[in-house]
Structure 1
Amino acid sequence: MYRGLYPGRFQPFHLGHLNVVKWSLERVDELIILVGSAQESHTVSNPFTAGERIEMIRNALRESGIDLSRIYIIPVPDILMNNVWAYHVSTYTPKFEVVFARNPLVIRIFKEAGYKVEIPPPFDREKFNSTYIRRLIILNDNWSELVPKAVHKYILEIRGDQRLKEIVGTDK
């Protein structure tokens, strides 16, 4: 069994993330989607809880026809010690052989820990960028075409758009 790890915060899970999942699944038998900063929520940078992000991801994968039996979605809290983060992650996840990442720090950490790292294509990172999408949500601008339909629906159902706007109001 050849298994990969795809770490991210997924705040929110967008079409770029979905494309990385599909790309990664072409290379492995199973994929672990690591929901990082699991302890964070209700802030401008991390508005959604780990549980909400897991639901977003599962809904989007199901909607896309991805076989969920090939996927693990695991929340992992931060430890703020980069030199042991790869080991920390490995204590939460099943064994994996390859890491899919574009973040230079994540790449460095996992390479130093002895893991193979593959860098996915950027999939239009200018547009598919969680910071940008959160800004569009706050501004009441059109963000729905940047996330899977299931994610858009879920965020509206949990009033995540309103939460983000209220958080910004309290952060002033």
Structure 2
Amino acid sequence: MRGFYIGRFQPYHNGHHSMVERISEEVDELVLGIGSADDSHTTHDPFTAGERIMMITKAVAEYDLTTYVVPLEDINRNAVWVSHVESMCPDFDVAYSNNPLVVRLFEEAGIEVRQSPMFDRDRLEGSEIRQRMIDDESWRDRVPASVVEVIEEIHGIKRLQHVSDSDSLERYAATGESLPESLDDLDD
């Protein structure tokens, strides 16, 4: 049996990882849909689809589970969203989600949906982890070690801290200063 699990995975964290572990006990294969794949370089969605593919692929390698990681762009049309997902993914038998809208859309399309309790939701929420990254607070214990490695490799903290600086663009516009050509050009 093949399952489907969608998330933005900004970043992929231990709550997601626990969910994948639970799902792996029920299915032989899992499609992991990366939602909002077209968004990146913002405080809400700092990582690219490719970076999230790296995070997920490395993290789930420890499970005895065939996985397919599929980026899914937002289409902003809920009535056809399930059809969009189905057109982009390998066929699946069951969807896993705790998001009320996602559950409703799959159920309306006649697809079985399984829910599970959230795993340590107070600590393992993407927005909380991203804020900790911005504030230079402890976050590494909230994501798999392989995800820490990816975030460090891509200089994800530096990027997130920069894009969270709401004054950045205004400062460049007001001073006429050129935007940096790369993240390496940013001040530490």
TM-score, length basis structure 2:
0.87
Structure 1 residue identity aligned to 2:128:
Y
Q: What is residue 90 of structure 2 aligned with on the other side?
A: 94
The 4+ residue runs of structure 1 with deviation greater than 3 A are: none
Q: What is residue 184 of structure 2 aligned with on the other side?
A: none
Deviation at 1:83, TM superposition (A): 1.1
Deviation at 1:97, TM superposition (A): 1.2
Q: Is the 8 A contact 2:24 2:63 kept in 1?
A: no
CA offsets 1:110-158 (integer angstroms, 9 cap, x no match): 1011100000221111111101000000000000000001101210111
Q: SS where residue 95 of structure 2 aligns?
A: strand
Structure 1 residue identity aligned to 2:153:
E
- Work out the CA distance in 2 between the residues paired with 1:142 and 1:148: 14
Higher relative contact order (CA 8 A, sep 6+): 1
Q: What is residue 114 of structure 1 aligned with on the other side?
A: 110
Deviation at 1:56, TM superposition (A): 0.6
CA offsets 1:22-67 (integer angstroms, 9 cap, x no match): 11111111110001111000011100000000001111122xx213
2:31 counterpart of 1:11: no
Q: SS where residue 54 of structure 1 aligns?
A: helix
- Work out the CA distance in 2 between the residues paired with 1:39 and 1:158: 18
- Work out the CA distance in 1 between the residues paired with 2:136 and 2:165: 14
2:161 counterpart of 1:162: no
- Work out the CA distance in 2 between the residues paired with 1:169 and 1:99: 37
Root mean square deviation, CA, Å: 1.1
Question: Structure 1 residues 171 and 61 mapped into 2: Cα distance closer, same or farther (>3 Å)?
Answer: farther
Q: What is residue 22 of structure 1 aligned with on the other side?
A: 21
Stretches of structure 1 lacking an aligned partner (at least 5 in a row): none
- Work out the CA distance in 2 between the residues paired with 1:87 and 1:10: 21
Stretches of structure 2 lacking an aligned partner (at least 5 in a row): 169-188
**Alignment length, in residue pairs?**
168
Instruction: Give % identity.
Output: 45
Q: What is residue 66 of structure 1 aligned with on the other side?
A: 63
- Work out the CA distance in 1 between the residues paired with 2:4 and 2:146: 23
Q: SS where residue 99 of structure 1 aligns?
A: strand
Structure 2 residue identity aligned to 1:153:
E
- Work out the CA distance in 2 between the residues paired with 1:90 and 1:171: 40
- Work out the CA distance in 1 between the residues paired with 2:2 and 2:60: 18
Q: What is residue 45 of structure 2 aligned with on the other side?
A: 46
Structure 2 residue identity aligned to 1:79:
I
TM-score, length basis structure 1:
0.94
Q: What is residue 32 of structure 1 aligned with on the other side?
A: 31
Structure 1 residue identity aligned to 2:102:
V
Deviation at 1:171, TM superposition (A): 5.7
Q: What is residue 131 of structure 1 aligned with on the other side?
A: 127
Q: SS where residue 33 of structure 1 aligns?
A: strand
Question: Structure 1 residues 50 and 171 mapped into 2: Cα distance closer, same or farther (>3 Å)?
Answer: farther
Question: Structure 1 residues 24 and 81 mapped into 2: Cα distance closer, same or farther (>3 Å)?
Answer: same
Q: What is residue 152 of structure 1 aligned with on the other side?
A: 148
